[in-house]
Amino acid sequence: MASSIQEIELSEKRLHEILDIANDWALCNGIIIKDSSGSANAVCAPYSLFPSLVPASILEQAKSSMTEFSRLMHKVANDHSFLQDCLKNVIEVDPFINSLWNIYLKVREAGIKQPLMLGVFRNDFMMNFKDNTGKSDGIVRPEQLELKQIEFNSIAASFGGLSQQICKLHRSAVCVL
């Protein structure tokens, strides 16, 4: 049995057949977004056709870092002077940020009533290939990888609900290999 999708030989024709099956599955199972052309049409949300292998150590590092990232964002969100200083130039030129800032000021002026706060975050990571450590067999080993954080989102967390469906799509795509 193959341990990587790279070990499976697919003809261009077979790859397109699998892609067609996956796209149909995605459309039928809600992995969709509104077409960017402005029409009311739905298209497949972007997805990888096959799952990526992620070493357990890298996955654990990503998961464990979220506590610290969340604490940091909580502290930043509650430091009015810091926010005001950092955002003052953006507020002047970006209507969306200006609108958010005005909402924030109204809520702050009214006083925060609830005792708890909830942050919904999405943290994007990539696995970076550090080096080849002298190996030339073409197999990437966990010790050759490092985690790189590339983006932290507190607003654009909408695709989180698609993750279960993407997992099912990957299972479907691998089954038709």
Dihedrals phi, psi of 15, to nearest 5 degrees: -60, -40
- In sequence order, what are the beta bridge partners of 44? 32
Q: Which residue has the tokens 């479907």?
A: 172
Identity of residue 83: L
Q: What is the pLDDT of residues 94-128, one digit of tens each?
A: 999 999 999 999 999 998 888 888 888 888 899 98
Q: Which pLDDT score, from 0 to 100, does residue 136 have?
A: 59
Per the CB < 8 A criterion, the answer to whether 21 and 50 are in contact is no
Q: Which pLDDT score, from 0 to 100, does residue 28 have?
A: 92
Read off the pLDDT of each residue in 18-22 and give the average, rounded to a whole number: 93
Q: Which pLDDT score, from 0 to 100, does residue 138 have?
A: 67
Please give the share of the chain, as a percent, with pLDDT higher than 70: 88
| 41 burial level (CB within 10 Å; 0-12, 13-18, 19+) | exposed
**Closest alpha carbon to 127 in 62, 171, 174:** 62
Q: Which pLDDT score, from 0 to 100, does residue 2 have?
A: 46
Distance (Å, whole) CA 147 – CA 121: 18
Average pLDDT, the chain: 85
> What's the predicted TM-score (pTM) here?
0.65
Q: What is the pLDDT of residues 51-87, one digit of tens each?
A: 888 899 999 999 999 889 989 988 998 899 999 999 9
